Chains A and B, each alone.
Chain A
Amino acid sequence: AQKITQTQPGMFVQEKEAVTLDCTYDTSDPSYGLFWYKQPSSGEMIFLIYQGSYDQQNATEGRYSLNFQKARKSANLVISASQLGDSAMYFCAMRVSRGAQKLVFGQGTRLTINP
């Protein structure tokens, strides 16, 4: 069965520091996609970054990068130069079954940026 594991319920980071949010996944499907979403207190799930299982390079989007280690089945999110506005819940998700487009989410990590 497909599963996403986020082992950090909460993270506290000083403003301007880099932060890594952990995500491991489990699937037997060779084709899959990995996503990170941010959910502020307003409730909306904001798409941050995508990594395909066949992508050779790690994905980057501005201050966000995804540390994709396929052999270890990990897809950690790295946020550089954290800002106060980065405080939110962060969810790692996996798209299972090409074309089926079902997302399986982890439990989330609550990130708090301290001034």
Chain B
Amino acid sequence: EAGVVQSPRYKIIEKKQPVAFWCNPISGHNTLYWYLQNLGQGPELLIRYENEEAVDDSQLPKDRFSAERLKGVDSTLKIQPAELGDSAVYLCASSAPWLGGGGQETQYFGPGTRLLVL
């Protein structure tokens, strides 16, 4: 079974430029997450999707960040315009539908996109 796929793996841009990240979750996983991981820290949730609906975007800086998950499968995270402080790793994760049992909410992560803003 294929894991979570992300692209690109690395991206270098100049500040004020736009950038987009793409994620394809594990087949059958209806919940998709975008996390931000700064250097030396644990990931922090940006947005969570249940199918195509964003159910938790409270940590997403909406002035410059946007996300979409059309058709409830692939997702795109966009930054426009990028700032120096956006340099980080952007991780996508997915999890299976919650059926009430233990462990079913386990999130599986992709390899991440490492962004460097110059």
**Chain A: residues with CB nearer than 8 A to chain B?**
4, 33, 35, 37, 42-47, 50, 52, 54-55, 91, 93, 95, 99-103, 105-108
Residues of B within 8 A of A106 (CB): 42
Bound-state Cα–Cα, A2 to B20, Å: 31
Which single member of B31, B45, B106, B110 contacts A44 (CB below 8 Å)? Answer: B110
Say whether B45 contacts A45, CB under 8 Å: no
Nearest CB of chain A from residue B79's CB, rounded to whole Å:
19
Count B interface residues, CB 8 Å: 26
Q: Which residue of A lies closest to B98 (CB)?
A: A99
Which single member of A42, A45, A99 contacts B91 (CB below 8 Å)? Answer: A45
Bound-state Cα–Cα, A47 to B45, Å: 17
Residues of B within 8 A of A101 (CB): 31, 33, 48, 95, 98, 105, 107
Bound-state Cα–Cα, A108 to B105, Å: 21
Residues of B within 8 A of A35 (CB): 106-107
User: Is B109 located at the chain interface by the 8 A CB criterion?
Assistant: yes
Q: Mark B13-57, 1 if CB is under 8 A from A, else 0.
A: 000000000000000000101000000111111001000000010
Residues of A within 8 A of B108 (CB): 47
Q: Which residue of B lies closest to A44 (CB)?
A: B111
Bound-state Cα–Cα, A42 to B93, Å: 16
Residues of A within 8 A of B48 (CB): 101-102
Complex A-B: 24 CB contacts under 8 Å: A4-B42, A33-B105, A43-B111, A43-B112, A45-B43, A45-B109, A50-B103, A52-B102, A54-B102, A91-B43, A93-B42, A100-B56, A101-B33, A101-B95, A101-B98, A101-B105, A101-B107, A102-B56, A103-B33, A103-B45, A105-B44, A106-B42, A107-B41, A107-B42
